[in-house]
Amino acid sequence: MIGKWQDVPWIRRVIFLGFNFAVCLAIYFLVADPISAVLAEQDAQIAMLSETLARMNAIASRKSDVDTLARQVDAEADLGEFLTAANEGAATASLQARLKTMTESAGARVRSGQGLPAKNNEQIRYIGARIDLYGPLASVQKAIYAIESGKPYLFVSNASIRLSPLVSAQAAATEPVIDAQLEVFGAVQMESPVR
């Protein structure tokens, strides 16, 4: 019997092809497939690391922006939250000058200013000033915003706003000019005398 299948050429070919196919499958599953899996995993890692590198480069390119913001934060910290002066009179004068500068840089004009009596709230002492200003509505709004959003912290505790009686009806129709009287207070920290 053994000799019979060896004499038939097509059976030998089938056995030969089957054996070679089995060897090829074994080589594929034992060698090629694991190597391709490792290479695919490394490709995925390379892609992930490339994406991370791109993000890091984008962050590094913003270094100058970060440095600028850090300098701004330091500058704001140097301003402090409190008004500082050697005495209350100097603090009130400084507050009035600061209010005039803020108002005029916003485009409004100052008519007058005067100091207000100091107030105590628990352990905090507040000094104040009354400022009369006028100008276009947008400029007065910018002035009030500049006063309340800057440092040192200032608070508008009382405001009286009305249309300016000195403006003609035609000018008021294009851009309303208003008069405003603001009472502004800020916490004061007295400087200790140098010894």
Q: Check whether 173 has a pLDDT greater than 80.
A: no
The predicted structure's pLDDT at residue 31: 83
Mean pLDDT of the 159-181 span: 74
Per-residue pLDDT band for 153 (boundaries 50, 70, 90) equals: confident
Residue among 159, 165, 195, 166 at smallest CA distance from 180: 159
Q: How far apart are CA 140 and CA 61, in angstroms?
A: 40
CATH of domain 80-190: 3.30.70.60
The predicted structure's pLDDT at residue 195: 47
pTM of the model as a whole = 0.54
Q: Check whether 194 has a pLDDT greater than 70.
A: no
Q: How far apart are CA 159 and CA 133, in angstroms?
A: 11
The string of pLDDT tens digits covering residues 69-126 is 777 766 655 556 777 777 888 888 888 888 898 888 888 998 988 888 888 887 788 8
Per domain, the residue ranges of the chain are: 2-57, 80-190
